[in-house]
Amino acid sequence: MNATATAKLAIQTTGLGKKFGKRQAVSNLDLAVPHGSVFGFLGPNGSGKTTTIRMLLGLVTPDSGNISLLNKPMPKSAASVLPRVGALIEGPAFYPFLSGRANLVRLDAADRTSTSSTRSNRVEEALEKVGLGKASKLAVHAYSLGMKQRLGIANALLRERELLVLDEPTNGLDPQGTREVRNLVASLATEGTTVFVSSHLLSEIEQMCSHVAVMSLGNLVAQGTLEELRSTGQHRAMLRTPDPNVAIEVFARLGLETKPEPTHEGDCPQLRVVLGSDAQVPERIVEELVRAGVRVRGFVVKDPSLEERFVALTGEGFDLAQ
């Protein structure tokens, strides 16, 4: 990567790795998060997102590799970089017997570069931004999970930040709260803040982010803009026909892979065909099918979806990584 491109990266890691005992939590990770992007860090549970974030913020020392945060090496420059970074790490954590407000005051006071004269104003503002203005004097043990999550986000917003690192920020939020977080992220992004947000839910990343990196088993399996990731996906087609066997032969002849789609008893059978990344001309395929006597009752070409791409990259189902 050339120098100007590097200077525009808010986060850059090279060869980042971390082992817990025998378990490789993160391996050989090269992240490149452009300045000003809303960058989705996507991966199933246990794929190494939180571990990566802990390393970025200097909480965990990497076994290998380098980290540059806002163009400064981490963890060496933690004292000068971290005041410019707001973070939510693996969920919120607060003193239960203190009010939401007192908790934020405490964390702000811990940062010796923060200005004490503006502290109480900044705390109020952060609480307002996440909709906790009315609950600010309530002890945190009386907060619901969603309120704690909001308080965690408020902590990340205590000062003007150049970078926000949000680890699963919508965990525990209701749909309304999720929408609010999405809007908050969008408004911060328009102000120029770089947002690095992790999630195990594609739909969330898809709605919030301009860029995405996909993790699987501690490895980076894809990285780029949402469009780039989408376009590397495969076009597919669905064929509805009472002659599936003949159709499969035709597809095989055309070098296309097929999978029977589950259908209800009595319904017309369906076949799913992978067309590849540059979809073959569909009318040619249909022509071949008709010539072979296949009764085509329906033929639909589907653009590559991120969902399928995500599943292809990270595996399907409820199996936890490893």
Ligand X SMILES: Nc1ncnc2c1ncn2[C@@H]1O[C@H](COP(=O)(O)OP(=O)(O)O)[C@@H](O)[C@H]1O
Site for Mg ion, rule CB under 5 A: 49-50
Q: Are 208 and 37 in contact (CB under 8 A)?
A: no
Q: Which does 46 bind (CB under 5 to 8 A by kind): ligand X, Mg ion, another protein, none?
A: ligand X
CB atoms within 10 A of CB 27: 18
> CB 314 → ligand X: shortest distance, Å?
11
Phi, psi of 220, rounded to the nearest 5 degrees: -80, 120
In terms of Cβ atoms closer than 10 Å to its own Cβ (0-12, 13-18, 19+), residue 191 is: exposed
CA separation for the pair 135, 191 (Å, rounded): 27
Alpha-carbon gap, residue 198 to 309, rounded angstroms:
18
DSSP structure class, residue 139: B
Least distance (Å) between residue 90 CB and another protein: 8
Binding string, residues 54-83; x marks residues near another protein by CB under 8 A? x--xxxxx----------------xx--xx
Residue whose CB is less far from another protein, 1 or 20: 20
Smallest distance from ligand X to CB 57, Å: 13
115-144: contacts with another protein (CB under 8 A):
115-116
**Is residue 46 within the footprint of another protein (CB under 8 A)?**
no
133 binds, among Mg ion, ligand X, another protein, none (CB under 5 to 8 A by kind): none
- Binding partner of 140, given Mg ion, ligand X, another protein, none, CB within 5-8 angstroms per partner class: none
Note whether 92 and 100 are within 8 A (CB): no
* CA atoms 161, 63, 44, 224: torsion sign: positive
Q: Using CB under 8 A as the criterion, which residues of the chain lie in contact with another protein when the complex forms?
A: 20, 54, 57-61, 78-79, 82-83, 85, 87, 89-91, 93-95, 97-98, 105-116, 155
